[in-house]
Amino acid sequence: MKIIMLGAPGAGKGTQAKMIADKYNIPHISTGDIFRSNIKEGTPLGMEAKEYMDKGQLVPDDLTVRILLDRVSKDDCRNGYVLDGFPRTIPQAEVLDNEVAKLGQKIDYAIDVNVPDEAIVRRMGGRRCCPKCGATYHIEYIRPQKEGICDECGSDLILRDDDKPETVLKRLEVYHQQTQPLIDHYSKLNILRTVDGTKDMQEVFEAITEYLEA
């Protein structure tokens, strides 16, 4: 099974991708992770990507796809993989479709974890993290024993800039402009499956596995 995860920032697609990978024993592939590992290992692709990243530039689509294809060519991807964070745009999707087709393969499912914007703003705005030890909490779902204080080290918890409503709304705006068209793209290919991401994490996962095992 070759699966692409779609969903706005904070929709929970990364969590679901990990759960899918664990259940079906296939790799969970995040573009951020493969960039970091290529750079750490000093691979030619990693060094090429690092040049762009050091200048604060986005890594071009063709290089991102080359790094991705290098990763999915590994033996552990023989039975499939879950892509998390790629593609983000139609041009990326088209390059990926073409390159996968050259290998005689195809993407089997694009899973859209659908959560309304207002729910994402509330969900992300409730996150709290410890700047000292990195522990994470949520004011509704994962509360610390003492409000505003980290259970692990006793430091004051903070709301990260990334989780502030105004930042989340900007990220959602970019998502809708760039990534939303992918939903139409995969719908036309008849591989799109949409799940209600506002439900409990386990319920969302069960809905996804129903699609994958239908």
Longest Cα separation, the chain: 56
Residue whose C-alpha is closest to residue 113's, from 6, 212, 3: 6
Angle (CA) 121-88-134 rounded to 5° is 50
Active-site residue 102, yes or no?
Answer: no
Is residue 164 part of the annotated active site? The answer reads no
Options 2, 13, 71, 128, the catalytic residue: 13
Catalytic residue of the set 2, 71, 123, 127? 127
Catalytic annotation on 143? no
Helix (H) or strand (E) holding 81: strand 81-84
Residue from 74, 143, 146, 160 carrying the catalytic annotation? 160
Among 122, 164, 171, 199, the one annotated catalytic: 171
13 is catalytic: yes
Collapsing DSSP to helix, strand or coil, 201 comes out as helix
The verdict on whether 193 is a catalytic residue reads no
159: CB partners within 8 A, 6+ apart? 125, 127, 128
Catalytic option among 2, 71, 88, 193: 88
Which residues carry out catalysis? 13, 88, 127, 160, 171
